[in-house]
Structure formats: structure tokens, C-alpha cells
Amino acid sequence: MKAIIAAAGTAGHINPGLAIANKIKQEEPNSEIIFVGTTRGLENDLVPRAGYKLKTIEAYGLSKQISIDNLKKMHKTYKGISEANKIVKEFKPDIVIGTGGYICGAVVLAAKKNNIPVLLHESNAFPGKAVKMLSKKADTVLVSFEDAKERLPKANKVVYTGTPVKIQKKEYTMQEKDTIVKQIGLNRTKPIVLIFGGSQGAQKINEAIIQIIKEKLNVNYQIMWATGPKQYDKIKQELENEKVNVDNIDNAKIVPYIYNMEEVMNVSDVIVARSGAMSITEISNLGKPSILIPLPNVSGDHQLYNAKVLEDVGAAKIILNDKLNGKNLNDTLNDIVTNKEKLKTMSEKALTKAAYNVENRIYNEIKLLKGE
């Protein structure tokens, strides 16, 4: 199989593309796969690191405002369509796959111009502008949440598959759990609350946790907190100014980044996080109760819609970003961790949104488009 995968910008777009590429390679080792992205996004690191070739074109997200900057971006994006068409003609793919973001526009248009089958994958519960706009041109749109189906009324074909993620539910023995918890510097005497805001951290979440630690509110639970590498030194200094030693805090462990995230997520009892599509999928697959703080001011407010997928079934609590503080986060945590029945029920509800055999489902749709 020869495939072009359009994926650019954030890990939320690129990682599903990489997972799809890896599945194709697993099933058809002789496949040729190239990625198309821009020169600005994470694809320039993640794609070559995964062993795939990356070709770049000019592409930008466009605002509705009329400005010199927007006109320049429109001109460059139009040029990008021509660049994408050249790549498609030269590579002659059997299929073009887009995983969201503005890069998809140019590549999908080029594919349709050359009569190449197109498959799109949408990770969010509320489809992004690119996927909504291109859904009627794509042969098949794959979605991560059933809720997204009704939001793509013009699509030719919509199939629920879920999003491929690396982190999966693991059944550890008691001894294995004890070892993991000990390695991260905590113990199993109290519930563990894992807190993270993505690879770069989340300022508002961090401020709330600082308040909890300063006021020693976390008496009923332990905190495993990944601040994000860019914010760790600032937080360390702020706590030290309050005479708090970050390496020796009761019921808390603070780190810049968690490298064994799959292990830590599996042994945690509650997760506090933003509600990006990947996080929601991982939380669902693991069956973890969660408190979700949607990132505001993102396209289509999609993080709020993602969070509602779990809140609506009773698996999560949502605290809006502008309402978040240490007190209400602590109150919400205490309401969950001090009630074993609630912990169990929320866990079971989260698992109802888990997606299984995701890569196989996606690969089967690819084969159908190829007529196999």
C-alpha cells in the first residue's frame, strides 16, 4: 500500500496519524507511507523520530477577519494546494488519510483532483473546522466518539472507531502496584490523584494545586503532579518562597514530566486534567474517575464537548477554567476520594466510553476504501 497521511500542528493530530501508519506497516510491511505537514508544527520532530518521511507545504488556519496578515496566509495556503497536488501526483498514493487540522484542506483537495480515495479521522467529540468542511469530500470519516456522528450531517460515510492511543489498561498485581507507587515517591495508604495539563503544563491547574499544597488541603489523598517542564522551576521557586521544599511535601510528589505515564495512570485513583481528545480516550480506556478542566478559547470549544462525553455518563466532573481554584478543586476531589462507591461507579461509567480494537477498525476501513 502507498499512503499519504496529512497531520500537522499538535500531538493530538500527529499521534493518531503515526498510529495509523504503524498499523498499516504492521499489516503490510512493504507499504510506502509519507506524511505531509508544515515547517512549523510538532510533525517536524515526531514524524522523523518515528521513522517516516515528512514533506512540507504552506498551510495556515484562516480567520474571518480581513487583514494584511490573513490575506498573506490565504495566498500561501493557495500555494500549498499546488504543492500538495505535486506531491500527490509524484507519489501516486492508493489512499490519502487526514487526521485533522488545516493541513488536511490542501492535501484532500489534491487527492480528490487526482481521484484518490480519502479517509479522515476526527479525534474530538465536536469535529474541527477542517474535518467539518472536508467531510462531504472525503469517502469516509472516522470518529472517536459516537457523539460526533450527528455533527457531520454532510459526510458521505461516518464510522465510529475511537482514537488510537498508546496508553492502555493494565492489570497489575498488588506487588507490581506497590513497586510503581514506591518508585514515584508515594504509598498506597491514601488514594492517588494524578494531575497533569499536557506536555507543557496548564497554568490555571497549576495555580489551583499550589493553593492546595500551600494550605495543606490534601489530607485525604496524595498528589502526583506533573507541572510541565517549562513551569517546574517557577513553581519550585514559588513554593520555596513559602518555605515548602518540593522534594519533601506531605502526600505529594511534584515532577516536571512523567515518563512512565502508562504505569502512573494505571495505579492512580483519580485524574485531574485538560480534556483533549487523547486524554479523554486514555481516561476512558483506563476506567478512571476524572475532574476535567477544558482549555478555553479553542476552536469550537471542543475540549468542553470532549469533557461532556464523560460527564454526561457520570464518569467525570467538569470545572470550567475561569471557575477553578484550589478550594473547589479540593472539595470536588474530597467528594470523590472519600466515597468508595462513587469511585467504583465513576470508574465503571468511564469504561462505557472505552474504545477497543481501534487500530483494527481503522485498518478495516482503509481496506474497504481500497476495495479489498
- Give the lowest-confidence range in 263-272, 293-302, 305-314, 351-360: 293-302
pLDDT digits (tens, 9 = 90+) for 225-252: 999 888 899 999 999 998 889 888 989 9
Do 136 and 192 sit in the same domain of this protein? no
Q: Is 216 left (phi over 0), alpha (psi -120 to 50) or beta?
A: left
pLDDT of residue 300: 67
Question: Are 140 and 248 found together in one domain?
Answer: no
Together in a domain, 19 and 158:
yes
**What are the φ and ψ backbone dihedral angles of 35, each rounded to 5 degrees?**
-105, 145
Domain total in the chain: 2
Arithmetic mean of pLDDT, 205-210: 94
The answer on 289 and 178 residing in a single domain is yes
Residues 331 and 365 reside in one and the same domain: no
Judge whether 132 lies within some domain: yes
Cβ neighbours of 356 (radius 10 Å)? 9
* Co-location of 180 and 156 in the same domain: no
State the pLDDT at residue 133: 87
The percent of residues in the chain predicted with pLDDT above 90, rounded, is 76
Kindly tell me if the per-residue pLDDT of 282 is higher than 90: yes
Contact by Cβ (8 Å): 202, 274 = yes
pLDDT tens digit sequence for 78-90:
567 889 999 999 9
195: which strand partners?
225, 272
Give the DSSP H/E element, type plus range, for residue 150: none
Both 205 and 337 in one domain: the answer is: yes
- pLDDT, position 331: 98
In a domain, residue 169? The reply is no
Mean pLDDT score, 192-208: 84
Section 142-154 average pLDDT: 93
Predicted local distance difference test score (pLDDT) of residue 72: 56
Flag whether 168 is in a domain.
Answer: no
Q: Same domain for 123 and 8?
A: yes
Query: Do residues 217 and 326 make contact, with C-beta atoms less than 8 angstroms apart?
Result: yes
Residue 291: the pLDDT is 98
The CATH number covering residue 225 comes to 3.40.50.2000
Region 139-161 average pLDDT: 94
Q: What is the mean pLDDT of residues 145-163?
A: 94
Give the C-alpha separation, 98 to 111, whole Å. Answer: 11
Q: Would 110 be classed as within a structural domain? A: yes
pLDDT at residue 66 tops 90: no
Look up the domain containing 296 and give its range.
174-351
Grid cell at residue 78: 493557495
Is the pTM higher than 0.85? The answer reads: yes
Domain annotation covers residue 291:
yes
Mean pLDDT over the full length of the chain? 91
Domain identity same for 26 and 144: yes
Q: Is residue 285 part of a domain?
A: yes
Residue 142 domain flag: yes
Q: Report yes or no on 249 lying in a domain.
A: yes
The residue ranking higher by pLDDT, 199 or 141, is 141
Q: Label residue 74 by pLDDT band (50, 70, 90).
A: low
Q: What is the pLDDT of residue 62?
A: 46
Do residues 157 and 186 both lie within one domain? no
Q: Are residues 145 and 235 in the same domain?
A: no
Residue 340 has pLDDT above 50, yes or no: yes
Count of beta carbons in the 10 Å neighbourhood of residue 98: 29
pLDDT band at 41 (very low <50, low <70, confident <90, very high): confident
What does the alpha-carbon distance between residue 125 and residue 88 come to, in Å, rounded to a whole number? Answer: 30
Cα–Cα distance list, 366 to 24, 125, 308 (Å):
9, 22, 30
| Residue 190 and residue 239 in one domain | yes
How confident is the model over 170-192, as pLDDT tens digits? 999 999 999 999 999 999 999 99
pLDDT digits (tens, 9 = 90+) for 255-274: 999 999 999 999 999 999 99
CB atoms inside a 10 Å sphere around CB 67:
9
